[in-house]
Structure 1
């Protein structure tokens, strides 16, 4: 952990600021799944508790074939249930329920107790790479201590200002709003005629059709407000995006 960790200690008394921490986590979460299908790539979109003991993962999975992956999930000791939410040819979206014993090995409780927020999590090349938003360097140190207490290796790869990261989002969208817009395009919600309903859009994201409708309206409102000038013309700066 070397240099980055010394940097944290040297700045513990500095003014608190929301930070984004890029981490490598060595945890046994879904370890047997990755042993069975080592080439699969899992990108976690959302992770949240449904009660005091249960945690759900929403993730995008890329694999050559999904049969072996789903069989491995069915046999995994840390998975209580799973469902495929989309069935694209080369990638699929899954909802995975963890057993209570796996909550700590997922590190979920650790960063939640530190008032952290998961920004990204990805498992490939035999490691989990994670980006967390944390309220302070002290919170990051607390999360490090949590990992040590549970025999989970945490390597700090880098720190950045989360506020600075948010300024890069010129469209004012939250991550869930961006996700629902991208998913709506992907499923054909905006096509004529529509290829997916609000209920189907919500199901693909693990939310109700009503929640999908409200989130989509908020996302479109934010997008329009930040993309259009007061006279109704398109903001040329905001309209320039890659991809």
Structure 2
């Protein structure tokens, strides 16, 4: 059974955090991160902000940035290839061997926000210790244990999932609505109030997991 961990890393030397602070409201999503054999660190970042000119100026002013190249301009978002002066600390090698999968890396003015899957708690503990040895403060925000991370929304219960699926299949969320709360509650053999509570809690988890988390 694997783990999904959502956490923040804070370090005075963390790249891109100063850029996020210089451009209020900037959202930086790290799509790719790698260290070359010769040492430089490469980031491919997707950026959403009100002023790309301000973002580019802040990025080029950062002492650790060696080269910036615009890859694509989608109007509301741009993608950049950034070469940073390296190398990574030697402890990074240990993190590379950690049994984990990075699902999301985002940078805001208060640090790096990550969502990762870990094989087990020992791997999570080793990863956290490696971050600390590199001088990064590790703040765990959420931890979920799941047997099927591809189909399970962290935090949502089986009863909430059952209620959401039943309501969806009955057309409760359709426009126009094809069934009522009473209809779905009868199918599940529960009260109208119990169904309403499960739907509200389930919807709240979905919004938090898929919508709110995207607003870093």
- TM-score after normalising by structure 1: 0.54
- CA separation of 1:48 and 1:20: change in aligned 2, threshold 3 A: farther
- CA separation of 1:78 and 1:110: change in aligned 2, threshold 3 A: farther
- CA separation of 1:118 and 1:108: change in aligned 2, threshold 3 A: farther
The aligned runs of 1:204-243 (5 Å cut-off) are: none
Structure-1 residue corresponding to 2:116: 132
**Equivalent residues of 1:38, 1:126 under 8 A apart:** no
Q: Does 1:36 align with 2:22?
A: yes
Q: Does 1:48 align with 2:59?
A: no
- TM-score after normalising by structure 2: 0.61
Where 1:111 maps in the other structure, the secondary structure is helix
Structure-2 residue corresponding to 1:123: 107
Hey, which of these two has a bigger chunk of strand by percent?
A: 2
Task: Please give the alpha-carbon distance, in whole angstroms, between the structure 2 residues aligned to 1:24 and 1:153.
Answer: 8
Q: Does 1:66 align with 2:26?
A: no
* Runs of at least 5 residues in structure 1 that lack an aligned partner in the other structure: 1-16, 170-241
Task: Please give the alpha-carbon distance, in whole angstroms, between the structure 1 residues aligned to 2:143 and 2:95.
Answer: 16
- CA separation of 1:31 and 1:125: change in aligned 2, threshold 3 A: closer
- Aligned partner (choices 142, 160, 163) of residue 144 of structure 2: 160
Larger radius of gyration: 2
Q: Count the aligned residue pairs.
A: 152
* Runs of at least 5 residues in structure 2 that lack an aligned partner in the other structure: 154-209, 211-216
**Equivalent residues of 2:20, 2:28 under 8 A apart:** no
Q: Does 1:78 align with 2:64?
A: yes
Question: Alpha-carbon deviation of 1:67?
Answer: 1.2
